[in-house]
Structure 1
């Protein structure tokens, strides 16, 4: 009873996913959480009639920021299941009459790869909220499941700073800055990039106590995050002439091959669009001539088969020749964090493994 709590005091420490290395504890104030929830209610247009669904863990920002907190503020309901299941999600939403479900990363492609059902479009879900829905699958997903994709962007450190305008979304775009956030695309010297040019997302809030104050017991990492008083996300993207932002790749996960910059996200989208592929992960591995070669780790759908050469031929008309993988490893699964994000750093650190098929050693010549 003698403890006084201020809105600006730290409410929780949420750890990053650790997809590129060791997780860091992100300090979150009470007011920061409230701002996250309040903005989510606004950009998703939640009301007391909504039922929000999630299969993501509570220690992940998505479940707390898009489902649980907003449900409390909107006086709505929340349905929380133990884990995400592609085969169960739509039936769950029908059972509990859910009007919204959230997603991350590869969830949209995985749902699309489920066997079509006659009742796919017969569901109560008006909105799917999340990040990284592939642009080429956006319209197909909305049509098949009779729902709307609402793409957002952010990290635990700046959650959420971009959201698609509800009535004017653009396929592949993570939207525009929401209330109180400034977002820019900059080069390596923090100079702002002109529209269409690739650069790093940086952002800052113009409201007090919104955004993280730093990383728990990591002052050096906090200083690196807050360069020039802007949060440096480590994400690459671009902005178009109309102010819509587009995510391209993690800066640490972009691949440099023989003078060309390659988006692992783009290569993954192409490989994963093959009918036999359930999901994929693309990383750079050391090249004998310097820089990197492209390595793809692929998981196939149950009962499906495809050869490495067939995957190469699938990529040829869809990717620049220099972005087509040299190495392909077909495996049963990808290493993931508890929040269902692929641990890319593990696949990168393992390098070229014995199960890697080598396109050049197989004598496959690419068409240019």
Structure 2
């Protein structure tokens, strides 16, 4: 039986894998590049498992939310945009793990990296697209509460800046097919702007909710406003802290843990939006029940002429006046004051007419 060239290539590639694994059993100092490659793969595997857990939580929370509430157009748009974008990023990342990190590095070193590096900028764009939606959501909420144009404009400016930097970074990596020092600085700047935007929105929301003065007991600080301020700070600190930890690991040359955090960064942004929806679900449901209930129609107070001595005539009393004496007392009070006002106006008019006629008589 003849052996084809394809079978020979498969055999050689498998021998190459076995040879690499045998070398890993007895690593020497000059082989740290191979060890680092295996460490990166292990962190990517851990990140994939955490991704699966977070994605399962997103599906459960999203389905429960849509089944128990009626979200408006903005809520539906943000949820439907963030989750598919990160699913695309996760699928591409998993393909990169299988094809590039595991197979290409160990089995086929001659495989062109140019044909595979497009997945890395795509992952960048999808991850920070979910960050953009999360920041738009929080900025939109701040605008609905305060209508402060200056602070909202600054938040939008930071948001647009970090989006531009991330797009420039992703496009440059895709075009140059390399992580140059300039591209690395672009990534650091974009991540810093993203963390700064989250912290800025959290701080202005905390300041706004702490300075709002209201007379309604349902919105005083011990209840709604305090919960809103705590929730805003928690969301901002959670998202920004994840980005800051990733930046710190990159700055200290700990790239493997930073890859793990980067893998779950989009999930953190998505779960942040879902947590916002669940916090708002009960107030929105209460508001919906109040607006859908039939309005209570109050019986209007009808003013009718009465006698000048202040007696209440039978015609002005409502049919349920005997059942509720306070209604008849209120109507009598209004009618009595009206009769006094009428007498005062008539007396003033009579005196004025008398003075005018007296002046004409004297002038004549």
- Name which structure has the greater RCO, CA cutoff 8 Å, separation 6+: 2
TM-score range, shorter chain: under 0.3
What TM-score do the two structures reach when normalised by structure 2?
A: 0.22
Structure having the larger proportion of residues in helix: 2
What TM-score do the two structures reach when normalised by structure 1?
A: 0.22
